[in-house]
Chain A
Amino acid sequence: DGGITQSPKYLFRKEGQNVTLSCEQNLNHDAMYWYRQDPGQGLRLIYYSQIVNDFQKGDIAEGYSVSREKKESFPLTVTSAQKNPTAFYLCASRPQPGFVSDTQYFGPGTRLTVL
């Protein structure tokens, strides 16, 4: 099956702990994205990567970090510096610009709750 997987589906964290959310894709897409969604809200961009070993901050990068060592993987670490980390986190990917579509393909999400 081709697609994007995120794990775990639910994650609980104690205050002061770092936690890493996994995102893997086998679509051979170059670009990958991390979004945060709060209840009743749209998605806000945390970080994105257009190519391996390169990534850029989105609109709300503070308290988060990412790496892109492999094309298929783009893990997100929520650090203890993130003041309000409880949210639904969505990962997405897409082919690079120049393809017919700018469509992004989303994973199923990880719901993070800080206890």
Chain B
Amino acid sequence: SQQGEEDPQALSIQEGENATMNCSYKTSINNLQWYRQNSGRGLVHLILIRSNEREKHSGRLRVTLDTSKKSSSLLITASRAADTASYFCATVPYNQGGKLIFGQGTELSVKP
């Protein structure tokens, strides 16, 4: 069963705006990861945040994690048309051999 719920399912913004995607999960986790998928392609890892971390940055990406609320958010600042893709959160539950459990994804469209 899928652990993650993502919100919104689809997001459409103009270039230069910020995009925020949210992810909620159900069980205790080791870490949470965000992946990006261009249409019809494989997934590309963006960022990993461990359960003892609250915020992490990578370039224009900012991820937060609130383990008390079992939620995470991904912020993409100053978006570009090339950011158009689907974004998935994936959790790594404790003691499950490193399995990733994916949310259903947010489809981001950035209009030039």
Task: Evaluate whether A104 and B100 lie within 8 angstroms (CB atoms) in the complex, with A44-B2, A59-B1 already known.
Answer: yes
Q: Which of B41, B48, B92 contacts A108 (CB 8 A)?
A: B41
The answer to the question of A71 belonging to the interface, with a C-beta cut-off of 8 Å to chain B, is no
Least Cβ distance of A112 to chain B in Å?
Answer: 13
Interface residues in chain B, defined as those with a beta carbon under 8 Å from any beta carbon in chain A: 1-2, 4, 30-31, 33, 35, 40-45, 48, 88, 90, 92, 97-105, 107
Interface residue? A63 (CB, 8 A): no
The reply to whether A104 and B2 contact each other, CB–CB distance below 8 Å, is: no
Asked if A68 lies at the interface with its beta carbon under 8 angstroms from chain B, I say: no
A31 to B99, CA, bound (A): 10
Which chain B residue lies CB-closest to A103? B45
Q: Which of these, B33, B41, B103, B107, contacts A109 with CB under 8 Å?
A: B41
Residues of A contacting B48 with CB < 8 Å?
101-103
A4 to chain B minimum Cβ distance, whole angstroms, is 8
Which of chain B's residues have a CB closer than 8 A to the CB of A104? Answer: 43, 45, 100
Q: How far is the CB of B31 from chain A (nearest CB, A)?
A: 6
Q: A56 to B97, Cβ gap below 8 A? A: yes
Q: Is A2 an interface residue (CB 8 A)?
A: no
Query: Is A61's beta carbon under 8 Å from chain B?
Result: no
What is the chain B residue whose CB lies nearest that of A58? B99
- On chain B, the residues within 8 Å of A88 by CB distance are 40
| Closest 10 pairs between A and B when the two form their complex, measured CB to CB | A106-B42, A42-B102, A106-B43, A42-B104, A43-B102, A103-B45, A108-B42, A102-B92, A109-B42, A102-B98
B interface footprint on A69-98 (CB within 8 Å = 1, 0 otherwise): 000000000000000000010101010110
A105 to B40, CA, bound (A): 16
Residues of B within 8 A of A27 (CB): none
In angstroms, how far is the closest chain A Cβ from the Cβ of B58? Answer: 13
CA A43 – CA B41 in complex, angstroms? 13
Q: Is the CB of B45 within 8 A of A105?
A: yes
Q: How far is the CB of A87 from chain B (nearest CB, A)?
A: 13
CB distance from A41 to the nearest CB of B (A): 6
